[in-house]
Chain A
């Protein structure tokens, strides 16, 4: 077998178009592995993406992201919506391996042909999702999925890329987040379109939800701007799921007014092109042997204090030729 499993891209795409899950799954692997083959897949897939709505689920580890994704997916399936789920777990920076465990909570979705679940390892990306998350979402979209639910790795404060990938971001917190919420004000608290206080079975949950509401209310917002609601849920007992779905839909409707969704989609695409361009430039620069040569030649001078790091950067910059 070759690197594409012996099947050439054309055959795979044809089988994908006929609706074969094996072909969709193999194409996702090609996207994950990146490079020229991934770009060829995107050439074929991207025009077929129909604009599926993308919802992000993020929050600290153990907050209940996978369980809420399960509940929301089940609710959407009862309305016969075709669902794609992308669940990201972290890659070990030491071994390069990953334990992808989000399916454990989503077992009840397995066997429903209206749902396609794919686990992705973050593979070195530090933004809370995998670098190919957008592309995998495009592929599931082109595969006929109408809603794409994307679950990030368990995040702290600064893994915020989900906001540049999805149309509605659901931030999931738990009463135990406690003082942690204070610390998160600067990052996570700014990207949520809907906030969830999960584990409503916990005695402190209502108080914790009120604290988040208060924090959100401190922010100055222009008239008519979206004010993120805080929804109490219990993924364990299945409570608050309808309310959460309603809040997501409300935000969706809000975006559809006054062309906000169109603007958001354009902004997301712009940032995608920008970051893909930066990746490519970075690779091009480091592929240039003269850049690496100067770096190893001159790093000694920096070490000895004869040259500042920034002067060396200028020297490197002069060497960069980008055609």
Chain B
């Protein structure tokens, strides 16, 4: 059967704007990936736990509430604590440029702003999984 790229798409925190997350989830599915969609109002703890049980290669978070500087670092920390720091974290939403640089320094692989072509996200995921997935 061969390995498939598995991605968890989640919306942490309190904002309910899930259109972006759904568009990305659908695009990744259409690109042949297995997408675990966990829906709204996730805590970083829930996301880490789900990602571990699902053995995903990548976690994609969508944040439009301004809570990115809390959510992303907490998730990085939780994955490291649980021995799952091989899982790459990407994200999207409304995130100011200066915060993007900070978050990428803290261990977030890549952040995609509004207007991103879903093909760029697909390509990024494929490239970053190339060493673990045939």
Seen from chain A, the residues whose Cβ lies within 8 Å of a Cβ on chain B are 1, 3, 5, 20-22, 25-26, 28-29, 32-35, 91-92, 95-101, 103-104, 107, 110-111, 116-119, 121, 123-124, 131
Contacts of A32 in B (CB 8 A): 1
Contact A22 B83 (CB under 8 A): yes
Contact B4 A121 (CB under 8 A): yes
A4 to chain B, nearest CB (A): 9
Q: B3: nearest residue on chain A (CB-CB)?
A: A33
Q: Choose among A3, A29, A99 the residue that contacts B26 (Cβ–Cβ < 8 A).
A: A99
Task: List the 4 closest pairs (A to B, CB-CB), nearest first.
Answer: A97-B29, A25-B55, A104-B39, A96-B32
Q: Would A99 and B37 be within 8 Å (CB), given that A1-B131, A26-B55 are in contact?
A: yes
Proximity string of chain B (24-47) to chain A, C-beta cutoff 8 Å, 1 when within and 0 when not: 011011111111111101100110
Interchain pairs with CB closer than 8 A, number: 97
Q: A25: nearest residue on chain B (CB-CB)?
A: B55
Contact A21 B53 (CB under 8 A): yes
Q: How far is the CA of A103 from the CA of B4 in the complex (A)?
A: 19
Contact A20 B25 (CB under 8 A): no
Q: How far is the CA of A101 from the CA of B55 in the complex (A)?
A: 15
Q: How far is the CA of A101 from the CA of B53 in the complex (A)?
A: 14
Contact A119 B29 (CB under 8 A): no
Q: Choose among B29, B52, B55, B82 the residue that contacts A92 (Cβ–Cβ < 8 A).
A: B29
Q: Is B70 an interface residue (CB 8 A)?
A: no
Q: How far is the CA of A305 from the CA of B120 in the complex (A)?
A: 51
Q: Is B132 an interface residue (CB 8 A)?
A: yes
Q: Is B71 an interface residue (CB 8 A)?
A: no
Contact B35 A29 (CB under 8 A): no
Contacts of B49 in A (CB 8 A): 110-111
Contact A111 B46 (CB under 8 A): yes
Q: Is B15 an interface residue (CB 8 A)?
A: no
Q: Choose among B25, B45, B50, B132 the residue that contacts A99 (Cβ–Cβ < 8 A).
A: B25
Contacts of A35 in B (CB 8 A): 1
Contact A3 B55 (CB under 8 A): no
Q: Choose among A3, A107, A119 the residue that contacts B36 (Cβ–Cβ < 8 A).
A: A119
